[in-house]
Amino acid sequence: MRFGPSVAIFLLAVVGCTNHPDAPARPQPVAPGDPAVTSESSERGTVEIIELARGLDHPWGMSFLPDRRILVTERAGRLLLLSAEGGLIAQISGLPSIFVSGQAGLLDVALAPDFERSGWVYLSFAKSNLRGNLAGTAVFRGRLVGNALQDGEVIYEQQPKLSSGTHVGSRLVFDDAGHLFVTQGENNKRATAQELDKLQGKLVRLNADGSVPSDNPFVGREGVRPEIWSYGHRNMQGAAMNPWTHVLWTSEHGPKGGDEINIPEAGKNYGWPIITWGINYDGKPIPEAVSNAAEGMQQPHHYWPVSPAVSGMAFYAAERIPAWQHSLFLGALAGSSLIRLQLDGDRITGEERLLSKRNERIRDVRVGPDGLVYVLTDAADGKLLRIDLKAQ
């Protein structure tokens, strides 16, 4: 594994438990080197791409610490601490046992709103059943002390556990009141997205300790899971809080076509699999689908007829790059690009695709404390890229 640039790189912690038999015991550090810098033309100027780190094993999510160091998850079950310039500082210990298969593994990472006081770090991951053959999305939190997570606890588990390694989501986002939103998938069990006694295909809203907020829309309804905020979702792999409206937006994988952006409202049904703008991968209609619209089911805020396979997302509200203000960035996996949507309020007025010539799957995108855009590429030799715009 190669990282750079940095000062001398060395490993300070051991990996948390994982049941992935092929995972190496730890990443192998090498001597630092100069970052690779490339550029490309865009609608707003010249995009400069700096390669901060490579050799990441299918990195999935990242979060910036207050001192600008970066926590990065690898799907195989490792949580890495990188310097602001991409150098490996440590591998964080104290993680839970993680089910690693296909799309399942260690997923997103988020800091508690009061992290500087509490030290809580939140992780979403796939947690297995007792037999170890099926899993569901779960949330773990631990206090970051040095290079370890201490006082660790699983605060949420998707029930029942139905995933064999598909459609697990997941992103973690806190709102202004300290509630935690957890995006999930329907484990490729389509009908469950409409079944309110199950947590598949649901956006859930929790208190920071995993308890259920008393004002969740289904609290007190018999036979309905009180954690549910909205339902009828397929596989939500992107989520971000709109910095101007303070409302959550999510991105969701459709089947073949029909990737979506939603602004999920409490108690609303977003239709999957009854309504969809996509079709099955074999070219046939989704068996349960009646149309692309139905009474009582919400239309997506935006959709793509051809799926780019959208993943992580981030709003741009920083002052560093005026030409990108009021933009929404999304990673594209099948589309192998960074999608920039121009916004006018909540209205999407334009789309631009960046980094397409690199032909790399983009798993996550965040805006750093420096106002630059950071992305993770999804590969066995995954990269952390830092992106700037030089205006024309």
Residue 340 is assigned to a structural domain of this protein: no
Q: What is the CATH number of the domain that holds 183?
A: 2.120.10.30
Q: What is the mean pLDDT of residues 144-159?
A: 98
Q: Report how far residue 215's alpha carbon sits from residue 220's, in angstroms, rounded to the nearest whole number.
A: 10
Q: What is the pLDDT of residue 228?
A: 98
Q: What is the pLDDT of residue 141?
A: 98
Q: What is the mean pLDDT of residues 223-240?
A: 98
| Count of other CB atoms within 10 angstroms of residue 55 | 20
Q: What is the pLDDT of residue 205?
A: 98
Residue 375 is assigned to a structural domain of this protein: no
Residue 182 is assigned to a structural domain of this protein: yes
Number of structural domains found in the chain: 1
H or E element, residue 228 = strand 228-231
The residue count of the chain comes to 392
DSSP 185: B
Residue 34 is assigned to a structural domain of this protein: no
Residue 391 in this model has a pLDDT that exceeds 90: no
Using 50, 70 and 90 to split pLDDT, how confident is the model at 36?
confident
Angle at 243 between CA 266 and CA 141, to 5 degrees: 70
Q: What is the pLDDT of residue 41?
A: 94
Phi-psi region of 37 (alpha: psi -120 to 50; beta: other; left: phi over 0): beta
Catalytic residues: 167
Residue 364 is assigned to a structural domain of this protein: no
Residue 211 in this model has a pLDDT that exceeds 70: yes
Sheet holding 347-354, edge to edge: 310-316, 327-332, 337-344, 347-354
Identify any residues that bridge with 360 across adjacent strands, giving them in sequence order: none
Q: What is the pLDDT of residue 34?
A: 58
Give me the chain's average pLDDT, please: 92
Residue 148 is assigned to a structural domain of this protein: yes
Residue 1 in this model has a pLDDT that exceeds 50: no
Closest Cα to residue 261, out of 190, 194, 343? 343
Amino acid of residue 321: I
DSSP characters for 107-131? EEEEE-TTHHHH-EEEEEEEEE-TT
Global pTM value: 0.92
Residue 32 is assigned to a structural domain of this protein: no
Residue 220 is assigned to a structural domain of this protein: yes
Per the listing, tokens 């997103």 go with 108
Q: With beta carbons less than 8 A apart as the criterion, state whether 31 and 44 touch.
A: no
Q: With beta carbons less than 8 A apart as the criterion, state whether 92 and 71 touch.
A: yes
pLDDT tens digits, one per residue of 290-345: 999 999 999 999 999 999 999 999 999 999 999 999 999 999 999 999 999 999 99
Q: Domain containing 181: what range?
A: 56-311
Identify which has the larger pLDDT, 18 or 381.
381
Residue 23 in this model has a pLDDT that exceeds 60: no
Q: What is the pLDDT of residue 347?
A: 98
